[in-house]
Amino acid sequence: MNLSYWETKTWFSNIDFCIVGSGITGLNCALNLKTRFPKSNILVLERGMLPNGASTKNAGFACFGSISEILDDLNSHSEEEVLQLIQKRLKGLNLLRKNLGDKNIGYKEYGGYELFTKEDRPLFEECKAKLPELNKMLEPLFGEAVFSIQKDSFGFRNIEKKLIFNQFEGQLNTGEMMETLLYKVQKAGIKILNNVNVEEFTEAKNSVKIKTDKLEFLARKLLIATNGFSEKLGIAQVKPARAQVLITKPIKNLKIKGTFHLDKGYYYFRNIDDCILFGGGRNLDFKTEETTEMAQTKLIQQKLEELLKNTILPETSFEIEHRWSGIMGVGKQKKPIVKQISENVYCGVRLGGMGVAIGSLVGKELSELII
């Protein structure tokens, strides 16, 4: 790229902090750095025309774990660890809502429901039996019982007639959330450059040399917030996990309202603008879905349509309006990786399926690695 004197001086000189990735983590990191170091020169680099990972692709569940998920976590983590995980999600959601405002992100607390298939009856029985114990465990965080049992009033088919309701689960408008966040970042005087792919970096004297597909330059500190794409920048503990989604055309008199989890959370759906947004099915083919390629597969899309027809909307005719996918970053552990990698390089990655909840907090924690 043949840059002018002006371009080099204005955009690529004296950069204090360069952040890779303009998802929820990278943008929150940038905002927090600007608050802590108001005079700093901050540059965010994003490979996509828009943020192009998970933050603008997700389902917009403001959740902290369904009952079966929490029970599953208790099999592999201590009670204290599970409480810490939930507390982090809660703290992250509160931070997101405080920073951006409920109205600006379309936040609605309609509650969340877990559905159980007939095959999952043993799991349903276990969840029912452990419900009082779990409510007691969560009481210090919520001050009230979180979970209760409710009759299915939505007319679902091929599932248990009773659902487990979580009164504190919410939903938001993902597009509005990211638009508000991007606006806030730009208003704070932080530069964002799109369509720039960071290819590699090397430590230089008191700085980092950053090589992109367009140019090379120096920054004092580099902060990586690339989540599912982090392997390409040498962070091997994060694997990509594609999540596929579809949305119906508007449905007249749609009765479904809230966020819904099915098959231990492998499927999720919600109402938005009189439509049903439905995603999941990664468990049908984990291997193929371990990819950073944004595409859909017949296997998963067909299964989503089949569940929509036979379980979620058995009495309602519907049409599919649109399909898409996004890339999450997962690993052996659920805890995000927020750490220093080398003298001037840091990362905040591996947010799993909970980045709406924890992204604001992970971004803040990443910025706090800079002292």
Contact residues for ligand FAD, defined by CB under 6 A: 20-26, 45-48, 51-55, 57-61, 197-198, 225-229, 232-233, 243, 245, 279, 326, 328, 351, 353-357, 359
CB closer to ligand FAD, 20 vs 164: 20
Q: Is 73 exposed, middle or buried (0-12, 13-18, 19+ CB in 10 A)?
A: middle
Q: Is 154 exposed, middle or buried (0-12, 13-18, 19+ CB in 10 A)?
A: middle
Residue 133 structure tokens: 């114990």
Least distance from C-beta 355 to ligand FAD, angstroms? 2
Judge contact between 267 and 63, C-beta under 8 A: no
Least distance from C-beta 62 to ligand FAD, angstroms? 7
CB closer to ligand FAD, 48 vs 72: 48
Residue 330 structure tokens: 């997962």
Residue 45 structure tokens: 């680099």
Least distance from C-beta 305 to ligand FAD, angstroms? 16
325: DSSP letter = E
272: DSSP letter = E
Residue 192 structure tokens: 């964002």
CB closer to ligand FAD, 146 vs 225: 225
CB closer to ligand FAD, 38 vs 360: 360
Q: Is 215 exposed, middle or buried (0-12, 13-18, 19+ CB in 10 A)?
A: middle
Length of the chain: 371
Least distance from C-beta 315 to ligand FAD, angstroms? 26
CB closer to ligand FAD, 158 vs 226: 226
Least distance from C-beta 73 to ligand FAD, angstroms? 15
